[in-house]
């Protein structure tokens, strides 16, 4: 028995050493037919949920926290530095109980409602259409408005389009001018309901397809170039029948985009702590996150059947990690900390979106401030950026760059007999000819060696940045806001046209070649 145990120990040790010495060969192709990575893949999401809007973006113009018309200046600066391309609002589930006319006009005259979805708190509508759209203008971000289908009317949504987009004389444009805005905002992206299969009305796919067609018929914008992009509520994860019904039953000329929602969750009934997690829980989270590859591939295959020219965009307009709320916080506010696990999750997910840029043309991380996998956290006057923020900032180089397709056989990350691909990668070339390669090591214990032939990429000199830390559970706190930030990466050599890279465990690396 002892000999058998000794043999097993030696075998496992040799297997570990072999895994650490294995080199992953990544081929990067200069493909003239490859798609451009749409900048909107790097979008964000702001719902009236917890402290995302109130106490997050919006503190009111009487606050001592520096603000412009009630919106925090530090958050605006951080998001502009992130090059945020678009922002989805007002939900989420909240969208299908939101009546936009409650949020316009003098604040003291706006009615209050109860936010039935998130904590049962009173919503005073002090942050509304003007506040959001003006903020998007300052950010340089495209607004993505989610319309109320669940409890709203066709007329209400059609009026909102006219209010925001029409420059001529009409009842809604006159009302907009009365409320202080002369020129229209020209909102392009419009969601027709949210999660219609669930909180948006518990509709069947067939019923929602009919509702979508009705609402879309009365939403028009003849004045602005390109009109509006109407977006259908997409599937819940792997509900492929939902996508099939949408593509089959909605005429393509009425469908600008189709959503998909997927959260990385260990177990919806026992989601685990945001900071105090084990390696097994980390593995389970990443297993759920990496399922995004399968979801995008299978939904895209269905869309291809009805739309071979890929005119309809796939929008992964809710994604991210979802854990139990931080201890002592309101369970309806979904406030969670953001660790190195989230950095790895973000990097690997964005690589998937980049590599499917032919179909995925928008995505929205949930959510922007103080909710779920936020890029920004606030505590009264304090504000910090999270590891996820820093990943998205490094990856901003891929926005509107030409995809360079990658191919490789990943080594495996093994926990309790289960395996995941350890290495994730994507690459692009920007308009100035610079090449960017983003690499993620999902393995929580072992470094990985990577080799990339760069002779045909037209670049010679590389620099790099890395995001990592001493523990997976590390995070940026209000006392140590810069514990996890990008630092210079030197773990590579250029040997006769081949990059030899050693990427640390649970890390995100971005290389730039010029």
Listing DSSP states for 124-179 in one string gives ---S-HHHHHHHHHHHT-EEEEEE--SS--HHHHHHHHHHHH--SS-HHHHHHHHT
85: Cα within 13 Å, side-chain hemisphere: 22
Phi and psi dihedrals of 465, rounded to 5?
A: -130, 150
Residue 18 contacts residue 92 (beta carbons within 8 Å)? no
**CA–CA distance from 444 to each of 119, 193, 480, 506 (Å)?**
36, 39, 23, 5
Is 108 one of the catalytic residues?
A: no
Residue carrying the six token digits 């100035």: 432
**Alpha-carbon dihedral angle through residues 232, 361, 229, 180, given to the nearest 10 degrees:** 110
What proportions of the chain, in percent to the nearest 5, are helix, strand and coil? 30, 25, 45
Tell me which of 47, 123, 142, 195 is the catalytic residue. Answer: 195
Is 211 one of the catalytic residues?
A: no
Tell me which of 318, 324, 451, 512 is the catalytic residue. Answer: 318
What angle in degrees, to the nearest 10, is found between the helix axes of 279-306 and 240-249?
20
Residue 385, both tokens:
């950026």
Pairing of strands 257-264, 229-236: parallel
Q: SS3 of 104, please?
A: coil
**Alpha-carbon dihedral angle through residues 89, 91, 92, 97, given to the nearest 10 degrees:** -150
Query: Which active-site residues does the annotation give?
Result: 195, 318
């Amino acid at each position: 028995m002892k000999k058998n145990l000794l043999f097993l120990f030696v075998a496992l040790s040799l297997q570990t050493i072999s895994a650490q010495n294995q080199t992953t060969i990544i081929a990067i192709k200069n493909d003239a037919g490859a798609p451009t990575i749409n900048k909107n893949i790097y979008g964000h999401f702001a719902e009236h949920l917890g402290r995302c809007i109130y106490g997050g973006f919006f503190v009111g113009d009487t606050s001592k926290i520096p603000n412009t018309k009630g919106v925090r200046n530090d958050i605006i600066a951080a998001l502009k530095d992130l090059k945020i391309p678009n922002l989805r609002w007002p939900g989420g589930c909240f969208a299908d109980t939101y009546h936009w006319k409650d949020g316009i006009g003098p604040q003291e005259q706006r009615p209050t409602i109860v936010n039935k979805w998130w904590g049962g708190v009173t919503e005073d509508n002090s942050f509304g259409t003007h506040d959001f759209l003006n903020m998007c203008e300052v950010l340089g971000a495209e607004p993505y408005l989610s319309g109320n289908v669940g409890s709203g009317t066709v007329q209400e949504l059609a009026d909102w389009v006219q209010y925001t987009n029409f420059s001529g004389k009409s009842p809604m444009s006159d009302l907009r001018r009365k409320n202080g805005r002369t020129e229209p905002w020209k909102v392009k992206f419009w969601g027709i309901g949210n999660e219609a299969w669930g909180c948006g009305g518990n509709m069947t796919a067939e019923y929602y397809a009919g509702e979508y067609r009705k609402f879309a018929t009365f939403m028009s914008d003849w004045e602005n170039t390109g009109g509006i992009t109407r977006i259908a509520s997409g599937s819940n994860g792997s509900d492929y029948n939902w996508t099939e019904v949408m593509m089959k039953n909605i005429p393509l000329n009425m469908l600008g985009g189709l959503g998909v929602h997927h959260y990385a969750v260990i177990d919806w009934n026992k989601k685990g702590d945001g900071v105090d997690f084990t390696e097994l829980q980390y593995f389970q989270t990443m297993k759920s996150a990496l399922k995004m590859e399968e979801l995008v591939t299978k939904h895209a295959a269905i869309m291809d059947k009805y739309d071979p020219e890929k005119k309809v965009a796939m929008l992964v307009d809710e994604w991210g990690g979802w854990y139990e709320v931080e201890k002592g916080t309101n369970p309806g506010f979904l406030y969670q900390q953001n660790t190195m696990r989230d950095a790895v999750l973000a990097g690997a997910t964005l690589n998937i979106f980049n590599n499917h840029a032919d179909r995925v043309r928008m995505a929205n991380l949930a959510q922007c401030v103080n909710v779920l996998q936020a890029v920004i956290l606030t505590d009264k006057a304090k504000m910090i950026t999270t590891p996820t923020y820093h990943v998205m900032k490094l990856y901003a180089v891929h926005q509107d760059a030409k995809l360079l397709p990658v191919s490789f056989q990943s080594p495996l990350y093994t926990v309790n007999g289960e395996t995941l691909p350890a290495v994730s990668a994507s690459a692009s070339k920007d308009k100035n000819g610079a090449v960017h390669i983003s690499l993620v090591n999902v393995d929580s214990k072992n470094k990985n060696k990577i080799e990339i032939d760069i002779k045909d990429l037209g670049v010679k000199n590389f620099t790099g940045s890395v995001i990592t830390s001493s523990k997976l559970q590390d995070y940026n706190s209000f006392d140590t806001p810069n514990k996890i930030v990008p630092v210079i990466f030197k773990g590579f050599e250029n040997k006769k046209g081949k990059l030899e890279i050693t990427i640390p465990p649970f890390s995100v690396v971005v290389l730039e070649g010029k």
